[in-house]
Homo-oligomer: A and B are copies of this chain.
Amino acid sequence: MEQDCFKKVLRERGLKVTNQRLLVLETIAGHPGEHLTAEEIHGLARDRYPEIGLATIYRTLQVLVELDVIDKVSFDDGFVRYELGDAKKEKRHHHHHAICRKCGKVISFEGDLLETLEEALYDTEGFIVTDHEVKLTGYCRDCAKEKQEDGRSL
């Protein structure tokens, strides 16, 4: 059970197991593939626990990031977003994102290209990689089309 593991990790660090912390984790885990903001998580969590405060969400997210349970991602739209970390489950997944500069649409995909890079970084700098993110920016199919049309009309 995923939850027991989380409880154990909390206790190992001397942190307390609270309903709020379990709920935040469950909320994120319940929306796989999405990139929720703190406020979105707050909204979802309140469905099941109406008195939970936004500050608790933020504080819990910090804890979860620190414990490597979730990852922070940012698509440069002014929000920090969170998604379930891969580190715990398998050795390495490899979630990457392509972000449209025009409409902001995010395409997620997987790929395994970074092993050699990460090894080289350890060899040359002694840097130990615990997570990675590949962020591609550009134009999605629809916006690329529009952009081409705009160019013609100008």
Contact = CB atoms under 8 A, between A and B. Distances in A.
Copies of this protein chain in the complex: 2
Interface in A103-154: 107, 109, 111, 113-114, 116-118, 120-121, 125-141, 144
Contacts of A111: 117, 120
A95 to B, nearest CB: 12
Contacts of A121: 98, 107, 109, 136
A100 interface: yes
A136 B107 contact: no
A72 interface: yes
A136 B119 CA distance: 12
A116 B109 CA distance: 13
A139 B76 CA distance: 24
